[in-house]
Chains A and B, each alone.
Chain A
């Protein structure tokens, strides 16, 4: 009985720690400058698609 209790306690602690680690974590710092503006009309695809990096 004691063994089962211990196992359940370990699993509970591990689960709680896992949940905390999953929900916390660090965000990458993001720029606070800049903003959105309407995009100018699209002028189509690259004139020379072969110029794209291979």
Chain B
């Protein structure tokens, strides 16, 4: 059992999954904090037992932790800065472009304070970086990565999904950043069963920025998200109805293109899972890796980046019951 203190800020759907998986990994000293105290207390009481200590605490008490998982809606960067100044490592699940870029910008400060910041340790971004890195072994060279996501986790994730469809998408195309309106560029993407095929569109997602940091040699990177006509039509309006407590079955896929033995090769990997569950597992595994010194490099890092134990991290994610699929026969 591991007694190092790990903090989880955000006791919603994803935060709950983070705590659940940290317990599975053997952590017995977890501090939970939420803007709604009762929610943190409920989560703590759900996971407390004679052998483990899961307690609801105030935000200031998180400064006692070695690692804090940020599992609430954006922005994460301001609080991350406070944590870094105290030498506390961070695992952030933020999926906002500006927030992720602000977190990446904390690299120098994190190195100064001997802290690790894992940026975008969720499903997309997050597991996409791990999949991308693992798929490089199937190529001689890779030059393109195209990500697609279906589904949302908790309400904050749904709000971010709504916001992403009204902004400007960022894509890396032949050595320059291209901005296109979100909601354009329809592409029918097939996700692993039981999700199936969905129309996906460009959106303001941080995947291209983070995958480019993970693998600078990539020449084209795009990210799309599934959306219905209503999603796209109402994207620029405030959310008309409150989001669901949790989205249904979601999925993520990554299409990697490159060369092998002189031929052009396309490999597609995908995972069908509830997005909050997948994000919770990835962030818990990342926090575990930081606590157990599996990750030794300091500064702001993204999953899939060279120097991180990406294979071990992905294997730990898969060991939690997440099933990885490959598209074949196209």
Contacts of A36 in B (CB 8 A): 190, 192-193, 270, 325-328
Interface residue range, chain A:
20 to 34
A51 to B133 CA separation, bound complex (whole angstroms): 13
Contacts of A44 in B (CB 8 A): 134, 137, 311
Q: Is the CB of B136 within 8 A of A49?
A: yes
B residues near A (Cβ < 8 Å) are 133-134, 136-137, 139-143, 183, 186-188, 190, 192-193, 197, 199, 215, 217, 219, 229, 232-233, 258-259, 269-270, 306, 310-311, 314-315, 318, 323-330
Q: B269's closest neighbor in chain A, by CB?
A: A39
Contacts of B183 in A (CB 8 A): 22
Interface class of chain B by DSSP:
mixed
Return the 10 tightest CB-CB contacts between A and B, nearest first. Answer: A34-B329, A53-B141, A34-B330, A39-B326, A44-B311, A30-B188, A36-B325, A46-B136, A39-B324, A36-B192
Contact of A42 among B219, B311, B328 (CB under 8 A): B311
A residues near B (Cβ < 8 Å) are 19, 22-23, 25-28, 30-31, 33-40, 42-47, 49, 51-54
Q: Is the CB of B199 within 8 A of A27?
A: yes
Q: Is the CB of A30 within 8 A of B325?
A: no
Q: Is the CB of B137 within 8 A of A34?
A: no
Q: How far is the CB of A39 from chain B (nearest CB, A)?
A: 4
**A46 with B137, Cβ < 8 A, contacts A22-B233, A36-B193 known:** yes
Contact of B137 among A23, A37, A39, A45 (CB under 8 A): A45
Can you sample 25 A-B contacts with CB below 8 Å? Answer: A22-B232, A22-B233, A26-B186, A27-B186, A30-B187, A30-B190, A30-B197, A31-B330, A34-B190, A34-B327, A35-B327, A35-B329, A36-B192, A36-B325, A36-B326, A37-B326, A39-B326, A42-B311, A42-B324, A44-B137, A45-B136, A45-B311, A51-B141, A52-B141, A53-B258
Contacts of B192 in A (CB 8 A): 36
Contacts of B330 in A (CB 8 A): 31, 33-34
Q: A42's closest neighbor in chain B, by CB?
A: B134
Q: B258's closest neighbor in chain A, by CB?
A: A53
Contacts of B310 in A (CB 8 A): 45
A23 to B18 CA separation, bound complex (whole angstroms): 37
A36 to B323 CA separation, bound complex (whole angstroms): 11
Contacts of A22 in B (CB 8 A): 183, 232-233
Q: Is the CB of B327 within 8 A of A27?
A: no
